[in-house]
Chain A
């Protein structure tokens, strides 16, 4: 037999599939087996810790001593606690102030980077630096910058420029400390906002700006009537994430002030840790952490309903 007839007469052999092959052809089995690893991970690393935290908040557990169910006692106690109430207001203020500045500066940076500036890609990489630096590391840097004795800012203003006779007191009084923390948080949060909004800006077709220019829109009108509305959807998502991150912030505050002076800069997250671990009151700490959940849900719902969905984004239904 030569090769030609070989090709023309060859037929694919039919084989009986094995039991294992049949099992893997079963859709239900396949769905279960594929979902199992993800479900397992979620259960072990998300659901269990969250559930444990919520359960702990209803007990009087102390470190090294199993607690008893106390119902809402922890929460009732916290409502009377001046330090906790202060931490709640502090968290809200910290989140609001930091978010406003992060978005104002982030949007400004994104608009700049969206123009044709020289060394654009280098600049883009550069502004990501605060974001990729480990938080604790940058927190320590800020701690040093804010140091009462060795602050570089004090040094520049006092010893170089001679504009002042004494060192700045960045962390010594409550309001100075609060604003100092907000500055550090803004510095760290800007890259996320700027890069996300830049991505949003780049989805806006340049011909829209050209059309607006021909329609007689100046640069401010192009920004207000074209850029802002078209950026809204991504702005809503970035805003939500930014609020969630800032509200639950822990590292910066704990590394720079540890909640001081006199508990005035405690956020809910740092207070929860302070009470639960160094303070050994696990139940109470858990209750503080659980108290954050309603705020976070509220923030998410707000951005979802108030600014997330727009009519013009849905299309094609009644064509």
Chain B
């Protein structure tokens, strides 16, 4: 096990700049998730840690050793690929044992290690099958088994769940998290799915366009997003953004005014973006009027798409809302949970 330091890493393919100086510190045994929309550079960063892309600028250290010039096999890492990359001509057993076979490990050692990994992942019955004869979830497990057998200092996962169906994804999510809790190996995990990031990570690194937007624990990002991008990216359904200005200690949206979380740091008359999550609206007879456009009951809650002064907002209510499209309901945001962002830069104000 080891900590991983990423310091000032840049990367360009030809003239296209992929990473513009990234700094991330991963503590020993931590589960860190790199998340962002496709093309944000998260997979490139992971491949640089693995040694599959060279590092021209900046520094990556694993367990205190700078690995910039080190070939992949000497970095003591194991990687799970999006398409699993199982060797199709080898059985599950041989797939998992491949690295040990190459290292000329004695037979009993190989058997013991493969047996242990198979036991952890419940693959004992499948050891003599070929990858083709396995379902998607089983292949995923074999790929993880191959990583576990290596007993590496760091696990790297590159969007491992995106080829699975929704139900299996939830199940494997739990299994990966459980695995990390049992083995305690430092893990760096790449995904574009913010729910995966929220549910599994100790620490999330939100990336966009080759920059790190924010680093923090899942709930930290949820409660205090550093900017509009993170605020909109984390959480589902996404946060509502309303553009207006500050007037008389409240947020002014057309003819309506919404309560502010605090007036500290905001000047009268400044233009701001008001962010409020769907679940932080509550029904209130004295609240602002909203025209109902769409009602989506999920059972546990009711999602309502409504219009306030011509702005679409999504709200999620615990109570069952029996309104019909076209009707008006009154609601108010919870001021303690509202966020204010600078209109021009998108940076958090409060």
Question: Is A bound to B?
Answer: yes
Task: Decide if A111 is an interface residue (CB 8 Å cutoff).
Answer: no
Q: Are B102 and A215 in contact (CB under 8 A)?
A: yes
Task: Decide if A37 is an interface residue (CB 8 Å cutoff).
Answer: no
Q: Are B132 and A316 in contact (CB under 8 A)?
A: yes
A315–B133 alpha-carbon span in the complex (Å): 5
Q: Are B85 and A312 in contact (CB under 8 A)?
A: no
Task: Decide if B182 is an interface residue (CB 8 Å cutoff).
Answer: no
* Known A311-B130, A312-B132, A314-B132: A211·B79 in contact at CB below 8 Å: yes
* Known A205-B83, A216-B103: A315·B73 in contact at CB below 8 Å: no
Q: Are B73 and A214 in contact (CB under 8 A)?
A: yes
| A190-218 near B? 1/0 per residue, CB < 8 Å | 00000000000000010110111111110
Task: Decide if A162 is an interface residue (CB 8 Å cutoff).
Answer: no
Task: Decide if B317 is an interface residue (CB 8 Å cutoff).
Answer: no
Task: Decide if A230 is an interface residue (CB 8 Å cutoff).
Answer: yes
Which residues of chain B have C-beta atoms less than 8 A from A214's C-beta?
50-52, 72-73, 77-79, 99
Which residues of chain B have C-beta atoms less than 8 A from A314's C-beta?
132
Q: Are B133 and A316 in contact (CB under 8 A)?
A: yes
Q: Are A318 and B99 in contact (CB under 8 A)?
A: no
| A223-255 near B? 1/0 per residue, CB < 8 Å | 001100110000000000000000000000000
Task: Decide if A310 is an interface residue (CB 8 Å cutoff).
Answer: yes
Task: Decide if B286 is an interface residue (CB 8 Å cutoff).
Answer: no
A 278-311 contacts with B by CB, 8 A: 310-311
A230–B132 alpha-carbon span in the complex (Å): 14
A314–B79 alpha-carbon span in the complex (Å): 27
Which residues of chain A have C-beta atoms less than 8 A from B89's C-beta?
229-230, 310, 312
Q: Are B133 and A317 in contact (CB under 8 A)?
A: yes
* Known A229-B89, A312-B90: A216·B132 in contact at CB below 8 Å: no
A267–B98 alpha-carbon span in the complex (Å): 47
Q: Are A312 and B102 in contact (CB under 8 A)?
A: no
Which residues of chain A have C-beta atoms less than 8 A from B135's C-beta?
319
Task: Decide if A14 is an interface residue (CB 8 Å cutoff).
Answer: no
A302–B272 alpha-carbon span in the complex (Å): 77
A288–B31 alpha-carbon span in the complex (Å): 74
* Known A214-B78, A215-B73, A319-B133: A208·B87 in contact at CB below 8 Å: yes
Task: Decide if B81 is an interface residue (CB 8 Å cutoff).
Answer: yes
**Number of chain B residues whose Cβ lies closer than 8 Å to a Cβ of chain A:** 28
Task: Decide if B325 is an interface residue (CB 8 Å cutoff).
Answer: no
A207–B83 alpha-carbon span in the complex (Å): 8
Which residues of chain A have C-beta atoms less than 8 A from B130's C-beta?
311-312, 315
| B87-100 near A? 1/0 per residue, CB < 8 Å | 11110000000110
- Closest CB in chain B relative to A240 CB, distance in Å: 20
Task: Decide if A221 is an interface residue (CB 8 Å cutoff).
Answer: yes
Task: Decide if A121 is an interface residue (CB 8 Å cutoff).
Answer: no
Which residues of chain B have C-beta atoms less than 8 A from A18's C-beta?
none
Which residues of chain B have C-beta atoms less than 8 A from A5's C-beta?
none
- Closest CB in chain A relative to B46 CB, distance in Å: 12
A226–B87 alpha-carbon span in the complex (Å): 7
Which residues of chain A have C-beta atoms less than 8 A from B72's C-beta?
210, 213-214
A54–B102 alpha-carbon span in the complex (Å): 55
Q: Are B87 and A205 in contact (CB under 8 A)?
A: no
Which residues of chain A have C-beta atoms less than 8 A from B52's C-beta?
210, 213-214
Which residues of chain B have C-beta atoms less than 8 A from A208's C-beta?
85, 87
| A111-139 near B? 1/0 per residue, CB < 8 Å | 00000000000000000000000000000
Partner of A216, one of B85, B99, B131: B99
A213–B73 alpha-carbon span in the complex (Å): 6
Looking across the interface, which residue of chain A has its beta carbon closest to that of B129?
Answer: A318
Partner of B132, one of A205, A211, A221, A313: A313
Looking across the interface, which residue of chain B has its beta carbon closest to that of A233?
Answer: B89
- Closest CB in chain A relative to B152 CB, distance in Å: 9
* Known A216-B73, A216-B102: A210·B133 in contact at CB below 8 Å: no
Looking across the interface, which residue of chain B has its beta carbon closest to that of A310?
Answer: B89
A 155-185 contacts with B by CB, 8 A: none
Looking across the interface, which residue of chain A has its beta carbon closest to that of B83?
Answer: A207
Partner of A210, one of B78, B81, B90, B103: B81
- Closest CB in chain A relative to B335 CB, distance in Å: 50
Which of B81, B83, B89, B150 gathers the greatest number of chain A CB atoms within 10 Å? Answer: B89
Q: Are A215 and B83 in contact (CB under 8 A)?
A: no
Which residues of chain B have C-beta atoms less than 8 A from A313's C-beta?
88, 132
A214–B51 alpha-carbon span in the complex (Å): 8
Which residues of chain B have C-beta atoms less than 8 A from A207's C-beta?
81, 83, 85
B 49-64 contacts with A by CB, 8 A: 50-52
Which of B78, B103, B130 gathers the greatest number of chain A CB atoms within 10 Å? Answer: B130
Which residues of chain A have C-beta atoms less than 8 A from B78's C-beta?
214
Partner of A215, one of B88, B98, B131: B98
Chain A residues within CB distance 8 Å of chain B: 205, 207-208, 210-217, 221, 225-226, 229-230, 310-319
Knowing that A213-B51, A312-B88 touch, tell me 12 more A-B residue pairs with CB under 8 angstroms: A205-B85, A208-B85, A210-B52, A211-B85, A214-B51, A214-B73, A214-B77, A214-B99, A221-B102, A230-B88, A314-B132, A319-B135
11 residue pairs bridging A and B, Cβ less than 8 Å apart: A205-B83, A211-B87, A214-B78, A214-B79, A214-B99, A215-B150, A217-B102, A230-B89, A312-B131, A313-B88, A315-B133
